[in-house]
Amino acid sequence: MIVKEKILIAYFSWSENTRSIAKQIHQFVGGDIFEIQRAENYPVSYNALLDLAKKEIRSGEKPELKNKLLTIDDYNHIFIGFPNWWNTFPAPVLTFLSAYDFSGKTIIPFCTHGGGGIGKSVSNIAKQCPEAEILEIISINGNSVNNQNATVENWLNKVLKTSIR
């Protein structure tokens, strides 16, 4: 699939699951890839991660990011990928969404999860980016991310046909 619009695939991944889906999307649509990374790494211990991530989400914290894009102005379509943590996206994604003006942009969210689906992530993206168009999200269980090429391709054909033609 060749897309003529300028595309960004921005994602946050702690366990590699969301990264896997971001790479699959990139294979189909090209564009630029940007990994959203917290400046200070999350703990390696899963329980310590859970405690810190829950605290960040509940407090609305926006942790500093390791890297920033110079501009988002050049992109028309922005894929935003994340794992579902406590019914929404992780705090570094909040930092990313708050750092740029998404007015007039098309956001295409994708989510990995351990059984929780998308939660409130789409409505929370809409709150952060009220002037953006948000297309249909895809939600993939983290246990099956490596076998999703057909699912990702079908989703892309569906959402991109409605927005890029």
Q: Write down the pLDDT at residue 127.
A: 96
Q: Is 45 contained in some domain?
A: yes
Strands 32-35 vs 7-11: parallel, antiparallel or unpaired: parallel
The pLDDT averaged over each successive group of 10 residues in the chain (165 residues) is 74 94 94 96 91 94 95 95 93 97 97 88 96 95 85 92 48
Q: Is 22 contained in some domain?
A: yes
Q: Is 140 contained in some domain?
A: yes
Q: Is 2 contained in some domain?
A: no
Q: Is 89 contained in some domain?
A: yes
Q: Write down the pLDDT at residue 4.
A: 57
Q: Write down the pLDDT at residue 165.
A: 33
Q: What is the pTM of this model?
A: 0.92
d(CA 95, CA 104): 19
Q: Write down the pLDDT at residue 48.
A: 94
- Length of the chain equals 165
Q: Is 1 contained in some domain?
A: no
Q: How large is the angle between the packed helices 121-128 and 91-99, nearest 10 degrees?
A: 30
CATH code assigned at 63: 3.40.50.360
Q: Write down the pLDDT at residue 147.
A: 80
How many folded domains does the chain comprise?
Answer: 1
Q: Which domain holds residue 97?
A: 7-163
